[in-house]
Amino acid sequence: MTETKPTNIVVFEYRDSGQKKIEGIRRHGRNIKIVATFNITDPLPDFIDDPEHFINRDFEADLVLSFIKHADLCQYLADLCKQKDIPMIASGTKAENAFTPFTCCGLGKTDRLGAYGEQFGVPEFEATIEGGRITSLKVKRGASCGATWEVTDKVIGMTLDEALPTIAREVQYLCIADPSAFDPISGHSALHYAGEVHIAALNKAANKALHR
């Protein structure tokens, strides 16, 4: 059988802002290769008229991950990726021409994101429940920061009623999203959002396990 070609990723970050995500991807990702990382370290002004001074144009990839929050740089990079026909994910931003989920665990599925999109984004679990308690919890898809994988053992042995608030709380402890960011639709902060998507994923997996 021919091995599927890996998804090659280029990362753009500001002062190591993507390191936690890079670590999570390398630890939990499969068939994914981070081929280059561009780390901007210079102090940034409020407005940038020459973004090309900060963004290296010389890259090729299957996917770009941007952890740059500066609006001018993020938008410039998104436009550049569009020119190169490379999809870009910029969680927590408002850049056009990019995938911009509220948090890394809010990314929906699309066939444009290769192995990364299959494995990282809105969490998915496979659960086993015996005697009314969770006996196993396998991560099928999770947050690129790794939080989804790190909390599964916290709920083993619990009832579903106990596990739902626990998994939300434990994810929020690990979440590195900006706690001051708010979703304009739900009005919830990034931390609340991360907790809620994990509650929904666990609830879905538990209901499926109970109706097998």
pLDDT-above-70 percentage for the chain:
97
DSSP string, 76-129: HHHHHHHHHT--EE-TT---TTSB--SSGGGPPP-TTSHHHHHHBSS-EEEEEE
| For range 79-96, the mean pLDDT | 97
Topology classification of domain 124-210: Sufe protein. Chain: A (3.90.1010)
pLDDT-above-90 percentage for the chain:
90
pLDDT bin (cut points 50, 70, 90) of residue 181 is confident
Spatial separation of the C-alpha atoms in residues 114 and 8, rounded to whole Å: 9
| For range 129-154, the mean pLDDT | 97
Q: What is the pTM of this model?
A: 0.93
Find out whether 191 and 172 touch, Cβ atoms under 8 Å: yes
Spatial separation of the C-alpha atoms in residues 95 and 127, rounded to whole Å: 36
In the chain, domain spans: 7-100, 124-210
The pLDDT value recorded for residue 178 is 77
Half-sphere exposure of 161 (CA within 13 A, CB side): 1
Write down the mean pLDDT value for the chain: 94
| Residue that the structure tokens 């091995």 belong to | 3
CATH 1.10.10.10 describes domain 7-100: no
Spatial separation of the C-alpha atoms in residues 147 and 193, rounded to whole Å: 14
Spatial separation of the C-alpha atoms in residues 17 and 123, rounded to whole Å: 22
- Mapping DSSP to helix (H, G, I), strand (E, B) and coil, where does residue 191 land? helix
Spatial separation of the C-alpha atoms in residues 192 and 198, rounded to whole Å: 10
Q: What are phi and psi of 97, to 5 degrees?
A: 65, 25
Distance of CA 14 to the CA centre of its chain: 17
| For range 79-97, the mean pLDDT | 97
The pLDDT value recorded for residue 1 is 37
